[in-house]
Copies of this chain bind each other. A is one copy, B any other.
Amino acid sequence: MIDSSGLRYDAQGLIPAILQDHVSHEVVMLGYMNAESLRQTLELGQAVFWSRSRQELWHKGATSGDYVRVHEIRTDCDSDALVLQVELLGGAVCHTGAHSCFVEPDGAAPRLVGSPSA
């Protein structure tokens, strides 16, 4: 599926959206968008995802207050991934309360799989 802007969605109509903190440059979350959530994100200037678990549009922060301001959206060479430069208006993006989904709930340690070249 290719939308009017040339983006390529997968068989479920989704495109992965990488969230990167626009100041620290930390990658804080990977979410998924469909064309409608991307449209709403561009309109609101806040991240709106498609929740794969709940199968519904998900305006991030609507429940938690942790809204995500979106400054810029880029795509890649084959138009099937997005990188969003974001500002965490509530300071957190993870359901654990951590600022990033890629750290432990206390926010201090990475969720490490391995350090092959360390």
Contacts and interface: CB of A to CB of B under 8 A. Distances in A.
A96 B95 CA distance: 37
Interface residues of A, number: 46
A73 B115 contact: yes
Instruction: State the copy count for this chain.
Output: 2
Please classify the interface of chain A as helix (H, G, I), strand (E, B), loop, or mixed, using the class held by over half of its residues. mixed
A54 interface: no
Given A75-B102, A83-B102, A102-B75, A70 B117 contact: yes
A112 B30 contact: no
Contact of A76 (B29, B116, B117): B29
Contacts of A76: 29-30, 94, 101-102, 111
Contact of A71 (B45, B83, B94, B117): B117
Interface of A: 5, 7, 16, 18, 20, 25-27, 29-30, 38, 41-45, 69-78, 81-83, 87, 94-96, 98, 101-103, 110-118
